[in-house]
Amino acid sequence: MFFRKSIIALTGLFLCLFLIVHLSANSILLLPEETARELYNSYSTTLRESPIIKIVAYVLYLSILLHIVYALLITLNNRRAKSKRYTLNQYRENSSWTSQNMGLLGIMILLFIVVHLANFWARIKLGMGEGVGLDANGHVDVYEVTYSLFQNIYYVLFYTLLMAPLGLHLYHGLKSAFMTLGFYHKKGLRIIAKLSLIYAVIMAVGFGIIPFIVFFK
């Protein structure tokens, strides 16, 4: 269990790092249209062509996979450990709702990832669905894919609302990861808890607000 928990923590921390990079890239979308399109497309082209990023991408896929698989195994084991539940349980009085529902939040995030991959990764990398054009510089026009997707209000709402579970999951997950990995310095953990909160808010609000801005562009 300690090994599995550590894997969840380590992959989680890696995914947290990834999200920072992802959000910085996404912030390009906030620039005026012409600049945004050019920058965004050249950035994504650079990424696709870099061999290092290729490796990182595989690490990323693996992380997501391990994170999910081990979380599933741990959860199944934890459920076995509590074969009978309480008829009445006021757990909100001794712990946060988030901490008690990381699995549920994780499933919601997984749902988001599936849709998100279908929207972008499948189209751009696998060439599934409608073809993607090139921009003036001859780069694959990822910006257009994004822009057109967020003209659909349902997608905007989906992308925005599902950032709430992401934020909650990150907040509890980040500080717990440190404890799982054996960080027990009292003051340090208090700082980590605060940083986790700030980080989670930035991620959730940041990712959540971009579709709206694009929608109204």
Partner 1 sequence: MKVTFKIWRQDNAASKGDFVSYEVDRLTEDMSFLEALDYLNELLVARNEKVIAYEYDCREGICGQCGVFINGRAHGPHDHMTTCQLHMRSFADGQTIVVEPWRATAFPVIKDLVVDRSAFDNIIEQGAYISAKTGTAPEANAILVGKEVADKAMDAAACIGCGACVATCKNSSAALFTAAKINHLNSLPQGKQEASKRVLEMTRQMELEGFGSCTFTGACEVECPEGISILNIAEMNARRAKAKWFD
The helix (run of H) or strand (run of E) holding residue 120 is none
Site string for partner 1, 103-142 (x = CB under 8 A): ----------------------------------------
- Please identify, among the stretches 86-94, 139-147, 162-170, 207-215, the one whose residues bind partner 1 according to the rule CB under 8 A: 86-94
Question: If we measure between CA atoms, which residue out of 201, 15, 199, 28 comes closest to residue 113?
Answer: 15
Among 51, 52, 94, 154, binds partner 1 (CB under 8 A): 94
Q: How far apart are CA 196 and CA 217, in angstroms?
A: 31
Provide, rounded to whole angstroms, the least separation between the CB of residue 172 and partner 1: 7
- Please identify, among the stretches 44-52, 61-69, 161-169, 183-191, the one whose residues bind partner 1 according to the rule CB under 8 A: 183-191
Taking a C-beta distance cutoff of 8 angstroms, is the pair 166, 207 a contact?
yes
Provide, rounded to whole angstroms, the least separation between the CB of residue 107 and partner 1: 15
Question: If we measure between CA atoms, which residue out of 156, 64, 172 comes closest to residue 109?
Answer: 64
Give helix 102-116 / helix 163-180 axis angle, nearest 10°: 120
Q: How far apart are CA 51 and CA 35, in angstroms?
A: 26
Question: If we measure between CA atoms, which residue out of 150, 147, 168, 170 comes closest to residue 159?
Answer: 150
Among 34, 81, 154, 216, binds partner 1 (CB under 8 A): 81
Under rule CB under 8 A, residue 63 binds partner 1: no
Taking a C-beta distance cutoff of 8 angstroms, is the pair 196, 171 a contact?
yes
Tokens 């693996």 map to which residue? 62
Under rule CB under 8 A, residue 100 binds partner 1: yes
**Three-state DSSP class for residue 110:** helix
Among 15, 25, 179, 197, binds partner 1 (CB under 8 A): 179
Among 32, 51, 52, 82, binds partner 1 (CB under 8 A): 82
Under rule CB under 8 A, residue 182 binds partner 1: yes
Site of interaction with partner 1 (CB under 8 A):
1-2, 4-6, 74, 77-91, 93-96, 99-100, 102, 172, 175-176, 178-184, 186, 189
